[in-house]
Amino acid sequence: SQTIHQWPATLVQPVGSPLSLECTVEGTSNPNLYWYRQAAGRGLQLLFYSVGIGQISSEVPQNLSASRPQDRQFILSSKKLLLSDSGFYLCAKGQIYGYTFGSGTRLTVV
């Protein structure tokens, strides 16, 4: 199975509150994992990727961080959310034969 579990599907959080989005994957061990964000009116953009446990690379500076505490767990976090953090967040697993996607989380910061 190549399933990716991502939750929650929707989330409304106040400005200044913390955030934790979790993504867990099934299938082949040691996958490349990715967090993408889609802001309003824009395409999905890469936030973080991980090639292994504890290995995180960031593509853009931001108010977010990512962690990979286990091989098949990828977490996106923030200590204090900003209004500009609103958007659609997508977890993905990438391997040489292609990508598998979570269903995404719609985050609204109010």
Q: For residue 6, give the H/E element and its range.
A: strand 4-7
Which residues, in sequence order, are bridge partners of residue 49? 34, 57
Question: Which of 57, 79 has the CB closer to another protein?
Answer: 57
Smallest distance, Å, CB 16 to another protein?
24
Q: What is the contact surface with another protein in residues (CB under 8 A)?
A: 9-10, 32, 34, 36, 41-46, 49, 51, 57, 59, 88, 90, 92, 94-96, 98-106
Say if CB 9 and CB 107 are below 8 A apart.
Answer: no
Residue type, 97: Y
Smallest distance, Å, CB 20 to another protein?
19
- With CA atoms as reference, report the closest residue to 27 among 105, 85, 90, 102: 102
Smallest distance, Å, CB 93 to another protein?
9
Q: Count, in order, helices (H) and strands (E) of the chain.
A: 0, 11
Question: Which of 83, 96 has the CB closer to another protein?
Answer: 96
Smallest distance, Å, CB 58 to another protein?
12
Question: Which of 4, 16 has the CB closer to another protein?
Answer: 4
